[in-house]
Amino acid sequence: MIERWPKLDYGRDREIIESLHSYLQVVGKLPLRTLPWHNHSWHVALRVVPRGFRTYPLQMQGGEAELLFDCLSSAILLQTSQGFADGFDIEGQTVARFHEQLRELLVAAGLPVDTSGAPNEVEEAVPFIDDNRERAWDRATLLRIFRAFCDANRVFEHFRSGFVGKSSPSHLFWGSLDLAITRFSGREAPLHPGGFPNLSDRVTREAYSHEVASAGFWLGGSGVSEAAFYAYGYPTPDGLGGRDVAPDAANWQNELGEFVLPFADVSNSADPDKALLSFLETTYAAVAEAAGWDRDALEIPRSTFGEPYDVKALRTS
């Protein structure tokens, strides 16, 4: 069993992370091609569940299906409402072989979805069927990575409960391989310039159609050499980088235009959940204050287990 808040090492784990990212890129084509487009691409994201990463229910003829990237068993599992349940092991196969196995599984389930294509949001987008590079894989490393996503997801969902405005769930985007949660002011945003590698500007502009305060977790890369939490606003409010945030290990990175908090500083703290929650709360407050959000209308007390917040008390306070 992996304890909460495990140790992560991007340098040591990088090859496994790259394999995981590549496999999830293939999986991500399923919701992209079987579900109607939801606002801000939320339908394509994967949810963190007790055994791994799960798609939203996929539409198929005569029923529904869902795919689980099972991190505990290091396997793919496809289940349908018609009683089909089968899968295959993840063993470090090439992306081309993984793509072929997934296609065969979909055909067997009566869900012949075209999963061809190439990765998104990466510089080198080799088509899946042509990606025959050897891939590293290690089940113990996958379990540590998954445990970290579970811990981040738990705190993100707690943080989400303190907001009555429009908010995303906590969900994993396979394009960038980051867990993200986003709050919206309700106001439209300026047209996003786009420019993400191998991603249509149309997708980016729809995702950032309205003002956001977003936070997330990723395993390393994109200018950061270790696993870290991040937070930013779009559009970036004037003076955002100069605002105070917590905990002390958090800092503003000009190159990224984001606040960054290393995962190690959270996992090594006396109370990791509290440390991460303070980062989420203070970075959100920094964005909301700098951008002039109507915080009185958007925020509510964070929930307690099993009870909704007291609307009457809130309105008379």
Give the amino acid at 215. Answer: A
| pLDDT at residue 317, rounded to an integer | 58
- Give the model confidence (pLDDT) of 35-76 as tens digits: 999 999 999 999 999 999 999 999 988 899 999 999 999 999
Write down how long the chain is.
317
Asked if pLDDT for residue 310 goes beyond 90, the answer is no
| Residue 53 CB neighbours (<10 A) | 23
Is beta strand 210-218 parallel, antiparallel or unpaired with respect to 47-49? unpaired
Q: Taking the model in full, what pTM does it have?
A: 0.95
- Ranking 60-64, 210-214, 259-263 by mean pLDDT, the lowest is 60-64
Residue 130 φ/ψ, nearest 5 degrees: -105, 0
Asked if pLDDT for residue 307 goes beyond 80, the answer is no
Residue recorded with tokens 């490393």: 141
Region 262-274 average pLDDT: 98
Give the amino acid at 52. Answer: G
| CA proximity to 128, closest of 116, 136, 112, 113 | 116
| CA proximity to 32, closest of 16, 49, 48, 46 | 46
Region 98-102 average pLDDT: 98
Mean pLDDT of the chain: 94
What is the crossing angle of helices 10-27 and 95-108, to 10°? 40
| pLDDT at residue 62, rounded to an integer | 87
| CA proximity to 28, closest of 131, 102, 110 | 102
